[in-house]
Amino acid sequence: MTAVVGTAVQVGKSAVPAPVRAAVLGLGYVGLPVALAAAEAGVDVVGFDVDAGRVAVLEMGRSPVDTVTDESLGRAHATGLLSFTSDPDDLAAATTYVICVPTPLLDKLPDLSMVTSAVEFVARSLSPGDLVSLESTTYPGTTEGLVADLIEQISSLVAGRDYHLVFSPERIDPGNPEFGLRNTPKIVGGVTRECTAAGTAFYRRLVDRVVPVSSPREAETAKLLENTFRHVNIALVNEMAVLCRELGIDLHEAIDAAATKPFGFMPFYPGPGVGGHCIPIDPAYFSWRVRQLGSSFRFVELATEINDRMPSYVTSRIAEMLNAVRKPLNGASIVLVGVAYKRGIGDLRQSPAFSVARRLIRSGAELSWHDPYVSEFVVDGLPLPEVKSLGRDTLSGVDLAVLHTDHSCLDLDGLVRNAPLVLDTRGALNGRSPSVEGL
């Protein structure tokens, strides 16, 4: 087992890293990249997931995560240091445990059931001197509370005395071509200075820069602050989009002009809502924690209200555009172009496309979709028909197209040319045709 690290947190990388066997629990958008990076950094790593089917796919050399290529999986496999399992007994040989399981909302409340399950697996394998890192996004106090308490209850090991416990938030931005795991700074906050030092030493193998903070609470809050910042600013421009339309103002032009200021401004752009595994969820974790204190986080609550109503606004704009050509929404043929929550990936988690689709279906629209990154779009158990291209033949019977997600690979010229009306929710088609309208 690894020795307990001393009190001083070293700033530079260790010249000769100590041998480590890591277990990464959860092999999704967060855990799989961590497992691959660890193997390529010379760490003997086992990737664990309760989904045996996912493990079987990985063992065949196929990535179930669209942001991780089969080629990158193959490179990590070639090190001979990477294995996968769905058997928790295979975790026993690890000295470092990295928990990367989802933390969704259930009825708008934090659901830490998967964290609890993962921590139970870890606690049954944990030995003195080991390191446990929670990467799953959660509310402040989870690491020192739920995680430490559960491990002590099961194993009798005390965090900071018998083993190292840290929180190190995932900062994955799926589809970002510039920043990945290696060149995105890693925050690490331990329950003691020694814990922080141990976590820092491990993550320096995987990333270029580690940012130690005072405790897990600061690390947990940093992650929530990052995405609350985005959530609130997206809500600001979404509300401005509605108001600027009423005032006859081109908001995208105004944003681009404001963005020329070299200080004090960061551009955000309106859209059909927010999606993914972070922005719609993370601020709710902090808001929920604050409510336990008898207070409220009004900025987050207002931002959530504004962003949640954007799919309804998109639907009303569709009805407006159809009404202008004397076409009712009921019976209209509408195609959603791009249904993933962001450009460049096929991730459907929390995509606003689901809310838009539900509203259109309830209104009687005949709905189809097109997205080169997505294989199936199912709304409330109903698989919707796919439009294979944006050509003249495939769009000949469409009354209106909604550019929901502006993937760079989309044939936007064909969309404008072949669809009689286009609602552009992303500002990607400004000035291309009189038949195109924005939010």
Strands 378-379 and 382-383: antiparallel
User: Dihedrals φ, ψ of 194, to 5°?
Assistant: -65, -40
Strand partners, 189: 167, 213
Token reading at 162: 């018998």
Q: What angle do CA 232, 288, 346 make, to 5 degrees?
A: 55
Residues 6+ apart with CB under 8 A from 366: 331, 332, 333, 334
* Separation CA 311–CA 238 (nearest Å): 11
SS (H, E, C) the chain: CCCCCCCCCCCCCCCCCCCCEEEEECCCCCHHHHHHHHHHCCCEEEEECCCHHHHHHHHCCCCCCCCCCHHHHHHHHHCCCEEEECCHHHHCCCCEEEECCCCCEECCEECCHHHHHHHHHHHHHCCCCCEEEECCCCCCCCHHHHHHHHHHHHHCCCECCCEEEEECCCCCCCCCCCCCCCCCCEEEEECCHHHHHHHHHHHCCCCCCEEEECCHHHHHHHHHHHHHHHHHHHHHHHHHHHHHHHHCCCHHHHHHHHCCCCCCCCCCCCCCCCCCCCCCCHHHHHHHHHHCCCCCCHHHHHHHHHHHCHHHHHHHHHHHHHHHCCCCCCCCEEEEECCCCCCCCCCCCCCHHHHHHHHHHHCCCEEEEECCCCCCCEECCEECCECCCCCCCCCCCCCEEEECCCCCCCCHHHHHHHCCCEEECCCCCCCCCCCEEEC
Check if 278 is active-site. Answer: yes
List the catalytic residue out of 100, 195, 278, 409.
Answer: 278
Residues 6+ apart with CB under 8 A from 294: none
How many other CB atoms are there within 10 angstroms of residue 145's CB atom? 14
Q: Are 340 and 374 in contact (CB under 8 A)?
A: yes
Active-site annotation, residues = 278
